[in-house]
Amino acid sequence: MDFLKNLSISSKNQGSSTGFEWFTTSALLTSISPVDGQRIADVQITDKQNYEQIITKASEAFLVWRKIPAPKRGDIIRQMGNAFRTKKEDLGKLVSWEMGKSLQEGMGEIQEIIDVCDFAVGLSRQLYGLTMHSERPNHRMYEQWHPLGIVGIITAFNFPAAVWGWNAALALVCGNVCVWKGSEKTPLTAIACQKIIGEVIKYNKLPEGISCLISGDKEVGYWITQDTRIPLVSATGSTRMGKEIGKVVAARLGRSLLELGGNNAIIVTPSADLKLAVIGAVFGATGTTGQRCTTTRRIIVHQSIYEQFKKDLINSYQQLVVGNPLENGVHVGPLIDNQAVNLYKDALIQIKKEKGIFIVEGEVLSIKNYESGFYVKPCIVEAHRGMKITQTETFVPILYLLKYDHLEEAIEIQNSVPQGLSSAIMTTNMKEMELFLSVAGSDCGIANVNMGTSGAEIGGAFGGEKETGGGRESGSDAWKAYMRRQTCSINFGNDMPLAQGIKFDL
């Protein structure tokens, strides 16, 4: 596997943080490819002592990094983006091999890192604060933004590179340093990313603690969460995990930026272009094997076109190729591991119990030459509103079809779940579109028209409401979450007038 060699990954004891020669821990974590179920490499787990050393390095690095002018920091991030450009293919292959998503999607993920680095370079000259008119004579008032310090980044297996990239590029351009805990299911991708930016840091003779990586399970994540030296914890994962993290960070009055579960729906109206609707639905529901937080889990179809849409959707599902995600022409790779396969199997049982009707049956597949046991068939269920399982996010490719009469009802169905990440409407009718986007429309952080629920661009603020956690990452003004705002008032006169006209004469 040339891509491993090109990324300087060997099968033995990958250090958790490159550059840190004192890294001594002996406990190991094994990275297993879901493609063939085989071990790729062992990775050192960060122990408490190494964690303390890393946080010390990061704290020291912050004192240097924060004083480098933002446009100069932007220049370093530009070099990081370029380093990812040269490694895009190799890293995309590693993502695909270690996580199981198609090569197209693996490379797309690295493209997101490149794009967000470009975005951060632009931001480096645009970390604007407002100026206000003071109510007092000879006074000036303005606000400015300063970095927070160490930003803890906790990411999930499904986007083992890009989500770190969104957070790191923004955190760094704002003058913060980062400590990243990647998923224990995809540790090699994290190491490869760390090596790539580690080289840029070294080349520019900057302190190595600017970007740190720690590896391990929940316990390592907990160290970050409860650590008062880490003012912001940005975490992506399940709602269950986010609730735990949010509680611990809030108890120390730290900040958290949470990007959690979704239960995303597409509404298909009578005026929809059905060809677009079907493509949006199939990619949304089966892309990344149903393991995106933005995966389409429900389709709410108007009764007048229901039968036609259903027929077209079933036809498209029959053309899906499940297999080795690195092979050309494969649409759907494996699930991440056996635990995910069990979730899938349990959901199939639950759906039958709740009287859902399978119009494309689900089953665990065995793929010739790739018998990892993690391959499953994307399936479709005709569902009814009473089904409890449609309220939950099952991180597998199961799609529920629901029927509606009036658009208000469709919107109500869409919003009647605890999560609020992404949503979409397929329509060519302006009134339908505007209602969906109005205050009485979708309650999600993302609302799309004539596209699916997944595949958000980095330029927009990414995140969602309700149990999705409320955080926003990536584009727009999401950078503000990584900084502290300071309101500055300056008196350049010879008197001391007080605000609100208060008199205090001595």
By residue count, the chain amounts to 506
Question: Closest CB to ligand UN1 among 302 and 466?
Answer: 466
Position among 367, 456, 478, 483 found at the interface with ligand UN1 (CB under 6 A): 456
Of residues 219-248, which lie at the interface with ligand UN1 (CB under 6 A)? 236
Of residues 167-196, which lie at the interface with ligand UN1 (CB under 6 A)? none
Binding mask 385-424 for ligand UN1 (x = CB under 6 A): ----------------------------------------
Whole-angstrom Cα Rg for the chain = 24
Binding mask 78-117 for ligand UN1 (x = CB under 6 A): ----------------------------------------
In whole angstroms, the minimum distance from the beta carbon of 454 to ligand UN1 comes to: 4
Question: Closest CB to ligand UN1 among 455 and 497?
Answer: 455
Question: Closest CB to ligand UN1 among 292 and 466?
Answer: 292
Question: Closest CB to ligand UN1 among 394 and 454?
Answer: 454
How many Å apart are CA 345 and CA 396, to the nearest integer? 10
Distance of CA 263 to the CA centre of its chain: 15
Binding mask 150-169 for ligand UN1 (x = CB under 6 A): --------xx---x------
Question: Closest CB to ligand UN1 among 73 and 298?
Answer: 298
Residue spans of beta strands (DSSP E) within 260-415: 264-268, 296-302, 357-360, 364-367, 370-376, 379-382, 398-404
How many chain residues touch ligand UN1 (CB under 6 A)? Answer: 10
For the record, the structure tokens of 15 come out as: 């250090």
Question: Closest CB to ligand UN1 among 183 and 269?
Answer: 183
In whole angstroms, how far apart are CA 109 and each of 8, 46, 114, 352? 20, 26, 9, 35
For the record, the structure tokens of 220 come out as: 């390592």
Of residues 282-321, which lie at the interface with ligand UN1 (CB under 6 A)? 292-294
In whole angstroms, the minimum distance from the beta carbon of 118 to ligand UN1 comes to: 16
- Asked if residue 468 lies in contact with residue 296, where contact means CB atoms within 8 angstroms, the answer is no
Catalytic machinery residues: 259, 293
Angle between helices 162-173 and 103-123 (to 10 degrees): 10
How many Å apart are CA 430 and CA 456, to the nearest integer? 23
Question: Closest CB to ligand UN1 among 189 and 294?
Answer: 294
Question: Closest CB to ligand UN1 among 50 and 239?
Answer: 239
In whole angstroms, the minimum distance from the beta carbon of 343 to ligand UN1 comes to: 16
Nearest 5°: the CA angle 475, 476, 481 is 85
Helices (H), 256-364: 274-286, 306-318, 338-353
In whole angstroms, the minimum distance from the beta carbon of 194 to ligand UN1 comes to: 20
Read out DSSP for 164-175?
HHHHHHHHHHTT
How many Å apart are CA 89 and CA 86, to the nearest integer? 8
How many other C-beta atoms are found inside a 10 Å radius of the C-beta of residue 281? 27
Single out the residue of 426, 371, 364, 352 nearest to residue 397, CA to CA: 364
501: left (phi over 0), alpha (psi -120 to 50) or beta: left
For the record, the structure tokens of 133 come out as: 């008119």
Position among 37, 270, 373, 455 found at the interface with ligand UN1 (CB under 6 A): 455
How many Å apart are CA 222 and CA 230, to the nearest integer? 12
In whole angstroms, the minimum distance from the beta carbon of 462 to ligand UN1 comes to: 7
Q: Which amino acid is at 177?
A: V
In whole angstroms, the minimum distance from the beta carbon of 158 to ligand UN1 comes to: 5
Position among 17, 264, 454, 468 found at the interface with ligand UN1 (CB under 6 A): 454
For the record, the structure tokens of 282 come out as: 């199939």
Contact window for ligand UN1 (CB under 6 A) among 125-133, 210-218, 411-419, 452-460 = 452-460
In whole angstroms, how far apart are CA 206 and each of 62, 80, 202? 11, 13, 6
How many Å apart are CA 474 and CA 460, to the nearest integer? 7
Binding mask 112-151 for ligand UN1 (x = CB under 6 A): ----------------------------------------
How many Å apart are CA 161 and CA 355, to the nearest integer? 39
Contact window for ligand UN1 (CB under 6 A) among 33-41, 44-52, 370-378, 448-456 = 448-456
Which residue, judged by CB position, is nearest to ligand UN1 in the bound state? 456
How many Å apart are CA 160 and CA 182, to the nearest integer? 7
Residue 368, phi then psi, degrees to nearest 5: -55, 135
In whole angstroms, the minimum distance from the beta carbon of 459 to ligand UN1 comes to: 11
In whole angstroms, the minimum distance from the beta carbon of 159 to ligand UN1 comes to: 5
Question: Closest CB to ligand UN1 among 163 and 201?
Answer: 163
Q: Is 65 in the site for ligand UN1 (CB under 6 A)?
A: no
In whole angstroms, the minimum distance from the beta carbon of 278 to ligand UN1 comes to: 19
Contact window for ligand UN1 (CB under 6 A) among 19-27, 77-85, 170-178, 450-458 = 450-458
Angle between helices 70-99 and 162-173 (to 10 degrees): 170
Question: Where do contacts with ligand UN1 occur on this chain (CB under 6 A)?
Answer: 158-159, 163, 236, 292-294, 454-456
